[in-house]
Amino acid sequence: ALLPVLDEALGALGAARGSLASTGGLASTVDAGHEASRRMAELRHAPTTGVRVRLSAPDAHEALLAIGNRGGYVTALDGDVAVAEVP
């Protein structure tokens, strides 16, 4: 689970380095970071819906990915059930 996140972070750093090396500026990287920060602030204040995912279900992995892709997060574990909030 850590490897994809590390790959993404290293990719972003590589893109920033490439931008700086080729143009001397980081405008596109900074703009993308600002947009992501703005979106995260919006999501923090958005109403959420509770979701439960049985971790033993065949599609649990996909369900957890979908929660994360929608800006949701797991708030608790109840036995073999992940309790999450989704905006």
Angle CA(9)–CA(52)–CA(81) in degrees, nearest 5? Answer: 85
Check whether residue 27 and residue 52 sit in a common domain.
Answer: no
pLDDT tens, residue by residue, 9-28: 999 888 888 877 887 667 77
Domain assignment of residue 83, given as a range: 47-87
Phi, psi of 70 (to 5 degrees): -90, 5
Assess contact for 87 and 46: CB atoms under 8 A.
yes
Same domain, 32 and 69: no
The tokens of 28 are what?
Answer: 């596109």
Do 60 and 39 fall within a single domain? no
Q: Are residues 41 and 51 in the same domain?
A: no
Number of structural domains the chain divides into: 2
Instruction: Give the tens place of pLDDT for each residue, 69-85.
Output: 988 999 999 999 999 99
